[in-house]
Structure 1
Amino acid sequence: MSITSIKLLMKQYLHVALSVAASIFISSCQHNGAIALHNFTKKNALHGESIATRQHEILILSSKSLFIKDGQSLHIYLEGDGTPWFRGIEPSENPTSNSFIALKMMLQDKHPSLYLNRPCYGFITLPDNCNNALWTSARYSAEVINAMSDALDQIKISTKAKNFTLIGHSGGASIAILLAKERKDIDKVITIAGNLDHKAWTEHFGYDPLSHSQNPIDYLPLDKSIKRWHLFGELDKVIPLSIFEKAAEKDKHAIIKYENFDHICCWLKEWPNIINKIVNDEIQNR
């Protein structure tokens, strides 16, 4: 074999090796959220459990034994959309959030609380029946909501909870509203920096439409038996104020604005005070 041929083979080998390495690196990056969640769970000694529903496995997390007094509502925390897209150009291999704001809020809640993931979220290795539509165009679909509602049925039996308070951050707010419209055991819904109208949101930013998802705005206001609070930061750029106000106008008596808050700041810092005031009926709602 000539020296030229050897150099050519080495060049081809190096190209293949670099391509494989890049592929492994990219795949690893796309699973960072699930790995970070696993490490956070371990660090904070959280209890994790996978619930098998009729459609999907659902991962739940809690920080303590759930002793629920008579008449006390179990707080269910619902995370945002996580990382549905990789670099904004292709569906992510793993949608799990790498910031898990709702989980951190749950850890500051002294009331009985539980963190409910969506199908396919929270797993380092995704269940076989996961497909990327479940965290892109169908992230708020009936399939997602039905699986999570089935999980709530099982949670209700295991904890003996009579009612739930749904607390959703960002896209988790959409999930909260869509779950509440289906159930008779929701006594409160608290949305934080919530995406209440995904159609207006995708049109505003030029994102792909969530064509296989239900839109929360179509179900506002919720039944009058459910107390609602829609909390929003006036500096939010992820869900612009104009989009939020237009959607929340359908439930305007539940709107509470916070100056100097944005999509992330300063919910974690102020959450213990906010949730205690809501539970104690110190923040008015309708």
Structure 2
Amino acid sequence: MADYVSADDFNMWLAYKNGTAMDAHSMLDALDSQAPLIVVIEGDGLPWSRPWRISSDPTSPDPLMFDWYRQWPGEALYLGRPCYFGAKSSRVPPTPWDREGPPETQPCFAYWYTHGRYSEEIVTAMARVLRMKAGDRRLLLLGHSGGGTLAMLLAARMSNAAAVMTLSGNLNVTAWTSGHDFSKLAGSLDPAALPPLSRDVRQWHWAASGDEVVKPGWIEREAARQQATFQLGPATNHGDWRLYWPQINDAISQLKATISRQR
């Protein structure tokens, strides 16, 4: 099942599978298992097509986490981010970005996938969609790169968040922008600037040993602050994770089993 859902003037593309045919109206009734629901969140894709030029569509031509979602044999919910996968949104950004003009060739105002990609408005809208679709079901949030940022931000406000797993997760946005000499993401939230998550939320953060996009040291330091599990490898570069889906699948299965036993 795949469809667009709306919250707070944002649209998001959502896909759900549980091994049987299902439409949007019957999805919520099916989400009654004792096991946590895996929620998959994609990375940032292509906010800029080249330096100083904003993309008309930030969607990656080869989305990594959607590849994970498709190969996973069990139940999962893929939550597309606002403005991605053709999701057209009318939400106007705050000043001064509201002066950029209405979207014409792009699906929404570019602020929402550039400077405001991790903003309060984006996180609130995604959290609302999860509450609509999953109810009180316990959640295991799985994200890559900027999807890991959003997984952490969502876990901080979802009382039913049971676990977070990130792959090359951008857990310290300030370290990432300064480390690459990028402009600050003014308007975005930073997990490293917020209090650590509740100890009731299990965390497992994976880093790629040769990752020059989100460096392992940034992940390790934030994992230590969170008192979370940190794991280096098996991937060696930022986008290598699809080569190691069997290992990631095993780790997800272990985490799901641990959470289920705590019920």
The TM-score, its normalising length taken from structure 2, stands at 0.81
Q: 1:126 to 1:52 in 2, by over 3 A?
A: closer
- Change over 3 Å in CA distance of 1:203–1:280 after alignment to 2: same
Q: Which has the higher contact order (CA 8 A, sep 6+)?
A: 2
- Residue 104 of structure 1 corresponds to 67
Residue 278 and residue 261 in structure 1: after superposition, are their counterparts in 2 closer, same or farther (change >3 A)?
farther
Structure 1, residues 53-97: CA drift from partner, whole Å, max 9, x if none?
Answer: 123111101244464453111110000001101212221111112
Correspondence 1:50 to 2:12: no
Who wins on radius of gyration, i.e. which is larger? 1
Question: Cα deviations across residues 35-64 of structure 1 (Å, max 9, x unaligned)?
Answer: xxxxxxxxxxxx321112123111101244
Answer with 162-171 or 270-279: which moved more.
Answer: 270-279
Unaligned runs of 5+ in 2: 92-107
Displacement of 1:163 in angstroms is: 1.2
Normalised by the size of structure 1, how large is the TM-score? 0.75
Partner of 2:89: 127
What letter matches 1:215 in structure 2?
Answer: D
Aligned to 2:123: 145
**Aligned to 1:208, what secondary structure does the other structure show?**
coil
Residue pair 2:205, 2:228 contacting (<8 A) in 1 also: no
How far apart are the structure 1 equivalents of 2:192 and 2:62? 26
Question: If each structure's helix is expressed as a fraction of its own residues, which one has the higher value?
Answer: 1
Q: How does 1:157-236 map to 2 (within 5 A)?
A: 157=135, 162-219=137-194, 221-236=196-211
Match in the other structure for 1:276? 253
CA distance in 2, matches of 1:75, 1:245: 24
| 1:7 corresponds to | none
* Pair 1:61 & 2:38 matched: no
Listed as ranges, the gaps of 5+ residues in structure 1 are: 1-46
Displacement of 1:177 in angstroms is 0.6
- Give the Cα–Cα distance (whole angstroms) in 1 for the partners of residues 214 and 43 of structure 2: 12
**CA RMSD of superposed structures (Å):** 2.0
How far apart in 1 are the matches of 2:201 and 2:228? 13
Letter in 1 for 2:64: I
Structure 1 segments of 4 or more deviating over 6 A?
A: none
Within 2, Cα distance between the matches of 1:146 and 1:217?
A: 18
- Aligned-partner Cα distance in 1 for 2:224–2:252: 23
- Number of residue pairs the alignment of both structures matches: 232
